[in-house]
Structure 1
Amino acid sequence: MQPTFPSAGEPAPSSPSFIEVVVVRAGTHLFAIDVEAAIEIRGPETFDRPGSGTRPHLAVRGHALPVVDLRQAIGLAAFAHGCPAMLLMQAGAETFALAVDEVRDIESVPCHKVQPATDIPFGFCSHRIALGTLGEIPLIDHALLKMG
C-alpha cells in the first residue's frame, strides 16, 4: 500500500486540514477508517470462536483480541473461521481486530471532503468522505463499531 500525497502547493497530510484514512472492503462495500485508529494490517487470518454466542478471537503475540466482522456488521454472511485481511484497531483503551475482505490504500483527504450524513444505513458510520475515483464512502467511527 502506498499513501496518496497531496499535489505541490497543497498542505502536507499532517496538517490539521487533512485526514488520513485506510480504505477497507467488506463484500462490495468500501469504508474509510481514520488511520489514527489503525495499529497493524495483517494478511489472511484464522480466528476461533471461544464459546457459543460469543465473538470470535484472534491470537496476536500471546493476546486474544476480539474480532469484529465487518461483513456481518453490514448484513452480509459472516466469515466462518478466517478472513482474507485483518486490521488491528484501537478504540479507547481496547484493541480489536477488524475482519475484512480487503485492506486497500491509505488516502490523505482534505477535511472539507468529510461530511456528516444521515442517510448511511450503518449505525457505526455518521459521516461520508469523498475519495475521488472511489466516490463517497462511509467513514467508520471505530468506537461505535467496537460496541456493535
Structure 2
Amino acid sequence: MLRNSSAPSTGIPLQPHSPSADQPAPLSPTFFEFLTVRAGEHWFAVDVQATVEIRGPETFNTVGGEGLPMLTVREEELKVVDLRRLSGLRAFQSACPAMLLVQANTEVLALAVDEVGEIESAPRERVRAHHTLGYVFCSQSIAMADSGEIPLIDPLLLIAA
C-alpha cells in the first residue's frame, strides 16, 4: 500500500513539519492543517492527514472493462479521480500537470489536478460542518481569513465519483 513511503524521483512524500530533524511536530488540537489543490480557477482543501504523496505531471491510462482512468505507482494500479471533471470543467484527457495521492479508507486514489498548492492551517472552529458551494465530493468547508470559503474534499466521497 502507498502510505508515506519514500518517493521515487517523480514524487514528493508528505512529511509532518518538524521542530528538529529527528522529532515530528505534535498535531495541534486547535488548528486544522490542509493542502490546497486547484482545478481550473477553483481551489479546494484536502486534509493533510489524508494525503499520501504529491506527484508532478502524470500520464494515465484507461484500462479495464469499465474504461476507468488508472495510474500505476510502484506497480500498484490506482483509480484516477479527475478534479476538473468533478468541478464541471473539461476533463483531463490522458495526462495532468499534478497528481495528489489521497487515502480514502483502505484505498489510495490518484487525484488529478491543475496545481498542488501549499500546506495551510486554520483554527478548527473555521471548519464548517456543511458547505454552501454545491460540490458533492465535499462534506465540509473552511472559512478563510479573507472572508472566503474553500470546500474541503472528503476522500470517501471521491471513491464513488
Pairwise TM-score range, normalised by the shorter structure: 0.7 to 0.9
2:54 matched to 1:41? yes
Deviation at 1:54, TM superposition (A): 2.5
- Following superposition, the deviation at residue 131 of structure 1 comes to 3.1
**Could you list the per-position Cα deviations for residues 26-67 of structure 1 after superposition, in whole angstroms to 9, with x for gaps in the alignment?**
010000010111000000000001156422001101111110
Q: Which amino acid aligns with 1:120?
A: L
Cα contact 1:38–1:89 (8 A) shared by 2? yes
Match of residue 125, structure 2, among 105, 108, 112: 112
Consecutive unaligned residues of structure 2, counting only runs of 5 or more, are: 1-13, 18-24
Match of 1:145 in 2: 158
Give TM-score, length-normalised by structure 2. Answer: 0.79
Q: How many residues align?
A: 140
Superposed displacement of residue 126, structure 1 = 2.2
- Mapped contact 2:131–2:151 kept (Cα < 8 A): no
Identity of aligned residues (%): 54
Q: Which residue of 1 aligns with 2:94?
A: 81
1:30 match: 43
Give the aligned CA root-mean-square deviation in angstroms.
Answer: 2.2
Worse-superposed segment, 122-131 or 29-38: 122-131
Q: Structure 1 segments of 4 or more deviating over 6 A?
A: none
Name the CA shift for 1:118/1:37 in 2 (closer, same or farther; >3 Å). closer
1:95 is paired with a residue whose SS is strand
Are positions 1:98 and 2:111 aligned together? yes
Cα distance change, pair 125–81 in 1 and its aligned pair in 2 (3 A): same
Closer, same or farther in 2 for the Cα pair 1:52/1:77, shift >3 Å? farther
Contact 2:103 2:109 in 1 (8 A): yes
SS in 1 for 2:77: strand
Q: Which residue matches 2:144?
A: 131
- Relative distance call for 1:28 and 1:13 in structure 2 (3 A) is farther
Would you say the 8 A contact 2:99–2:112 is kept in 1? yes
Match of 2:33 among 11, 17, 20: 20
- Secondary structure of 1:120's counterpart equals coil
Larger RCO (CA within 8 A; separation ≥ 6): 1
Q: Give CA deviations for 1:110-138 in whole Å, capped at 9, x if unaligned.
A: 10111133422111112111233583110
Residue 75 of structure 1 aligns to a residue whose secondary structure is: coil
Q: What is the TM-score normalised by the length of structure 1?
A: 0.86
Partner of 1:122: 135
Q: Point out where structure 1 has 5 or more consecutive residues left out of the alignment.
A: 5-11
